[in-house]
Amino acid sequence: MARIGLPADRMGDEALLAGLTCGGPEISLAFVRRFQRQVFGVALAVVGDPAAAEDVAQQTFERAWKRASTFDPSRGTVRAWLTRIAHNLAIDAVRVRKAVPVDPTDLVRILGPGADEPEERFLRTEESAELRSAIRRLPPEQARAVVMAGLYGMTAQEVADADGIPLGTAKTRIRVAMHKLRDTVRLEGVHHA
Amino acid sequence: MPELTCEEVRDRSSEYALGILPEAEARPLEGHLAGCPRCRRETGEMVDLGTHLLDLIPGTEPPLGFDRRVLASVRSQHHRPTRPTRPGRHARATRPRRTLVASIAAAAVVLAGTIAGVAASSGGGHGGTEAYEQLTVSRTPLYAGTRSVGDIWTSGRPSWLHMTVHDLDASGPVTCELVGPGGTITALGSFGLIHGSGSWGAPVPEGTDDAVAVRLVDPSGRVVARGNLT
């Protein structure tokens, strides 16, 4: 039953989350630093503007801090939970600002390979590579539809309006793309049922 | 409203999983899911896929000092009875203007290709350039009988305590109690377990920092888990 002394940054994700509201500032800081790259990355990818992204990222941690007690580990990881919060807030921010969220040139920079670090590639590439590869294999119009819907939260009607296609076509592109990706991750075992 | 068939649910599950299905269509779909395990499972896979898609977005280091600003913000709000709501923070229903949609659509072309071509980033690691404060915490195993069911984390003697619980043969509310050296019991607080899992924490009151054990007690008074701090 020995107690083990560890630096706070070695604590598990859930333990850090549990300590977020009751632990010292070091715990909160460790939590923010562990997830800030992912949270800020999602925010920036959606809103496109660093200042707005920082605002979204800050709101994400504030919300996590308020709702830490409602986190349900049976429904996913802390990282996925935070990512969802960041994504929803980013979409809200884009819609409220009614402004151009992302310039394609900026997007290339934001998503460029410089954002990666070796240890992160080691940890996550295997899981993500198959899905990324599957997106690459999609017909361009399907990849585009699923990104507009999945990343930017655009409804099928908005996708249809954007591409000048019938609503039914937009729905089909989203559905077919999602089913193809789902089948891929099933085959590759990315989905952990 | 007529009930949806499984086929109709499959047609809509992708949009539902991505959170873009209009509310009027989402409600009957959820009604179907409640009574159809197969559609529930398949839709769950789609929801997981939506999460994986977001995972493909590479992490990006925020501006210097971001972590400190977050910390200052949440701590100041903690001492504030109410916080101002930012305009439109919950205005998800607001539709974007066509110009916005068009711009996003243009960006999506690039993104669809770029997501497929870049390596993902976890956002793990510590980030920031400031020196990391070294706080040493203690981890104590939590046991149900002889089975490990989680960890208790403490700092100080301890000044705070929190725990993560997994696979405990109990669900619903449990009370966390400190056991003093003379057997005195101090209730720290209660929290809920879902399917035997949960996490929780609280500051440790002064005068109880010589606790020798932590235990979880269900509403009937049964000790369902225990960890020895000494």
Q: Is B138 left (phi over 0), alpha (psi -120 to 50) or beta?
A: beta
Nearest-neighbour CA in chain B from A189: distance (Å): 12
* Domain limits for position A143: 117-193
> Is there a single domain that holds both residue A19 and residue A99?
yes
In a domain, B106, yes or no: no
Q: What is the pLDDT of residues B86-122, one digit of tens each?
A: 433 333 333 333 344 444 455 555 455 444 444 333 3
Contacts of A130 (CB under 8 A, 6+ apart): A184, A185, A188, A190
The closest CB to that of A72, out of B54, B141, B194, belongs to: B194
> Is there a single domain that holds both residue A129 and residue A89?
no
Contact of B135 with chain A, judged by CB distance below 8 Å, is answered with yes
**Domain closes at, from A62, A78, A108:** A108
**Domain closes at, from A108, A142, A161:** A108
Nearest-neighbour CA in chain A from B27: distance (Å): 16
Pick among B48, B54, B154, B200 to test the A interface (most A CBs inside 10 A)? B54
**Domain closes at, from A80, A108, A136:** A108
In a domain, A4, yes or no: no
Contact of A50 with chain B, judged by CB distance below 8 Å, is answered with yes
Put simply, whether the predicted model's pTM sits higher than 0.95 gets the answer no
> Is there a single domain that holds both residue A100 and residue A191?
no
Tokens of A20: 């977020």
Contact of B190 with chain A, judged by CB distance below 8 Å, is answered with no
Residue with tokens 């990222």: A57
B164 in helix, strand or coil? strand
* Domain limits for position B187: 138-228
Q: Does A36 contact B66 at a Cβ distance shorter than 8 Å?
A: yes
- Degrees, nearest 5: CA angle B36-B37-B42: 105
Q: What is the pLDDT of residues A119-158, one digit of tens each?
A: 344 334 555 777 877 888 888 888 888 888 888 888 899 8
Nearest-neighbour CA in chain B from A23: distance (Å): 6
CATH no. for residue B208? 2.60.40
> Is there a single domain that holds both residue A22 and residue A73?
yes
CATH no. for residue A124? 1.10.10.10
Contact of B137 with chain A, judged by CB distance below 8 Å, is answered with yes
In a domain, B29, yes or no: yes
Q: Does B111 contact A124 at a Cβ distance shorter than 8 Å?
A: no
d(CA B72, CA B91): 26
In a domain, A65, yes or no: yes
> Is there a single domain that holds both residue A95 and residue A21?
yes
CA closest to B213 among chain A residues: A1
- Degrees, nearest 5: CA angle A162-B13-A158: 10
Average pLDDT, chain B: 76
pLDDT band at A66 (very low <50, low <70, confident <90, very high): confident
- Tally of CB atoms within 10 A around B63: 12
> Is there a single domain that holds both residue A30 and residue A63?
yes
Complex ipTM > 0.95: no
> Is there a single domain that holds both residue A69 and residue A136?
no
Contact of B181 with chain A, judged by CB distance below 8 Å, is answered with no
- Degrees, nearest 5: CA angle A15-B63-A124: 50
- Tally of CB atoms within 10 A around B129: 7
B151 in helix, strand or coil? strand
Strand partners, B201: B162
Nearest-neighbour CA in chain B from A173: distance (Å): 10
Cβ-defined contacts of B97-104 (< 8 Å, 24+): B97/A98, B98/A161, B99/A100, B100/A94, B100/A95, B100/A98, B100/A99, B100/A100, B100/A101, B101/A154, B101/A158, B101/A161, B101/A162, B102/A162, B103/A100, B103/A101, B103/A102, B104/A94, B104/A101, B104/A102, B104/A148, B104/A152, B104/A154, B104/A162
Pick among A44, A155, A184 to test the B interface (most B CBs inside 10 A)? A155
Q: How many residues in total does chain B contain?
A: 230
Residue (of A178, A180, A148, A186) closest to A165 by Cα position: A148
Residues 206-225 in B contacting A (C-alpha not used; CB under 8 Å): none
Residue B18 pLDDT greater than 80, yes or no: yes
Q: Does A35 contact B123 at a Cβ distance shorter than 8 Å?
A: yes
Q: Does B124 contact A123 at a Cβ distance shorter than 8 Å?
A: yes
Residue B76 pLDDT greater than 90, yes or no: no
CATH no. for residue A81? 1.10.1740.10
Q: Does B110 contact A107 at a Cβ distance shorter than 8 Å?
A: yes
Helices (H), A10-77: 13-20, 25-47, 50-67
pLDDT value, residue B62: 94
Tokens of A138: 């999609």
In a domain, B113, yes or no: no
- Looking at the structure of chain A, the number of domains it has is 2
d(CA B214, CA B211): 8
d(CA A153, CA B104): 10
User: Residue A153 class from Cβ within 10 Å (0-12 exposed, 13-18 middle, 19+ buried)?
Assistant: buried
> Is there a single domain that holds both residue A93 and residue A123?
no
Residues 95-114 in A contacting B (C-alpha not used; CB under 8 Å): 95-96, 98-104, 107-108, 110-113
Q: What is the pLDDT of residues B125-183, one digit of tens each?
A: 344 334 445 566 788 899 999 999 998 888 766 677 888 888 888 888 999 999 998 88
Tokens of B88: 């439109």
Residue B74 pLDDT greater than 70, yes or no: yes
Q: Does A61 contact B22 at a Cβ distance shorter than 8 Å?
A: no
Q: What is the pLDDT of residues A27-62, one digit of tens each?
A: 888 899 999 999 999 999 888 889 999 999 999 999
> Is there a single domain that holds both residue A81 and residue A145?
no
> Is there a single domain that holds both residue A18 and residue A71?
yes
Residues 100-119 in B contacting A (C-alpha not used; CB under 8 Å): 100-119
- Looking at the structure of chain B, the number of domains it has is 2
> Is there a single domain that holds both residue A86 and residue A135?
no
**CA distances in angstroms from A99 to A49, A103, B99, listed in the order given:** 10, 11, 8
> Is there a single domain that holds both residue A122 and residue A188?
yes
pLDDT band at B219 (very low <50, low <70, confident <90, very high): very high
